[in-house]
A and B are shown apart, each in its own frame.
Chain A
Amino acid sequence: MSSAWKAAGLTYLQYTQLCAAALRNVVKADVAAAFAKRQTTPIKVAKWENGKTVETHEY
């Protein structure tokens, strides 16, 4: 059951997120309004070593 998305190097979560985004793009306008309200702020990730931040990036 090896899938194409796995062969492309995607993880399961990335794959589901892409599918969800694709679905959101094709729904009717009145349903899409509910998605538009949902704002996605990027989250900040910081890596720590020995009590100090060594690396930060956003998702």
Chain B
Amino acid sequence: MASLIANRQAFAAVRAVATKAPLGYRTRNMATLREVQDRLKSVSNISKITLSMKMIASTKLTRAQRNMEKARAWGQTSQAFVDNAEVASEAEGKTLYMTVSSDSGLCGGIHSSVSKATKRVLAQHPEAQVVVIGDKARTQLQRQFANNVVLTFSQVGKAVPTYAQSCAIAEAIKTSGLEFDKLAITYNRFNSVISYEATVIPAYSEAALARAPQFDAYEVEDDVLANLQEFLLANAIHWAIVEGHASEMAAKRTAMENATKNATEMIDKLTMIYNRGRQAVITNELVEIITGASAL
């Protein structure tokens, strides 16, 4: 975001230079020419940075996508179980909400996508409790709904998210003593490289699983139920984190690509202005020399 703002500022400055005075007048003093040159240098530096960030995001994206395919398979399998058992606790029981984002910025509206979805839910259920993963979503939710936040996680998904991390999160939720029948995990679903959307994965408590109408069909023994619930919870969280990570990398790639494109456009414009200014100075000097010579 910082580079985008810098881009915009530089652009505004150029526009101000361009509109302040006609070309001939402007170029009479060398300072503005120097100004354009400095601006040109800084913009091309920014474009170099954004370009390399785009490259990094691209490589991370392919890896994240590969991981996502795997996590998705696991997540969908546990989801299939939940569907077949007809687990539902929409009407009765307490819902705990979870928002999955990350700590890093410079990736477009990816964090506000999930936090907006969460805000919509919180507006309807002012008493609801929220668990937030990632600093970005936390700061966004903190402004309005600080009282609803009960647990936050940070430094998740700095590198490729691992299952161990997801387990640790599931563990932390269990040990925190938060009670819920349903955990609604809001994450950015990876539609394609250019599109994502905030979606909810449900995860359920032991009691909610045991209550499910078709649950007996699976013949789960009582002491295994707790294991199953933990596993389903960790799976759901992992799925959300990994897919959210892939969406984030895709969004970062797009954002950095746009920033680079804008910077390149601006470099072209600035170069044009700079060259025109330089030529005008030369022409001016020539005119002065010629008039001087002819006056003799």
Chain A nearest CB, measured from B231 CB (Å): 6
Chain A nearest CB, measured from B265 CB (Å): 38
Q: Are A47 and B151 in contact (CB under 8 A)?
A: yes
Query: Which residues of B lie under 8 Å from residue A48 when comparing CB positions?
Result: 146, 149-152
Q: Are A13 and B153 in contact (CB under 8 A)?
A: no
* Contact A11-B171, Cβ < 8 Å, known A1-B221, A48-B150: yes
Q: Are B159 and A39 in contact (CB under 8 A)?
A: yes
Query: Which residues of A lie under 8 Å from residue B162 when comparing CB positions?
Result: 38, 40
Query: Which residues of A lie under 8 Å from residue B170 when comparing CB positions?
Result: 13
Query: Which residues of B lie under 8 Å from residue A44 when comparing CB positions?
Result: 153-155
The CA of A1 and the CA of B224, in the complex, are separated in Å by 8
Q: Are A2 and B230 in contact (CB under 8 A)?
A: no
Chain A 17-59 per-residue mask, 1 if CB under 8 angstroms from chain B, else 0: 1001000000000000000001111111111111111000001
Nearest-neighbor residue (CB-CB) of A11 within chain B: B230
Chain A nearest CB, measured from B234 CB (Å): 6
- Contact residue range for chain B? 20 to 34
Q: Are B172 and A12 in contact (CB under 8 A)?
A: no
* Contact A17-B167, Cβ < 8 Å, known A11-B174, A41-B158, A43-B156: yes
Q: Are B223 and A2 in contact (CB under 8 A)?
A: yes
Nearest-neighbor residue (CB-CB) of B146 within chain A: A51
Interface residue count on the A side (C-beta < 8 Å): 27
Query: Which residues of A lie under 8 Å from residue B172 when comparing CB positions?
Result: 45, 59
Chain B 141-183 per-residue mask, 1 if CB under 8 angstroms from chain A, else 0: 0100011011111111011101011011111101010000000
The CA of A2 and the CA of B224, in the complex, are separated in Å by 9
Query: Which residues of B lie under 8 Å from residue A49 when comparing CB positions?
Result: 150
The CA of A11 and the CA of B154, in the complex, are separated in Å by 23
18 contacts between A and B (CB under 8 A): A11-B171, A12-B226, A12-B230, A13-B170, A13-B230, A38-B159, A40-B164, A42-B155, A43-B155, A43-B156, A43-B165, A44-B153, A45-B153, A47-B150, A47-B176, A48-B146, A49-B150, A51-B147
The 7 closest A-B pairs by CB, nearest first: A51-B146, A12-B227, A59-B168, A13-B167, A12-B230, A48-B149, A44-B154
- Mark B residues whose CB is within 8 Å of A: 142, 146-147, 149-156, 158-160, 162, 164-165, 167-172, 174, 176, 221, 223-224, 226-227, 230-231, 234
- Mark A residues whose CB is within 8 Å of B: 1-2, 6, 11-14, 16-17, 20, 38-53, 59
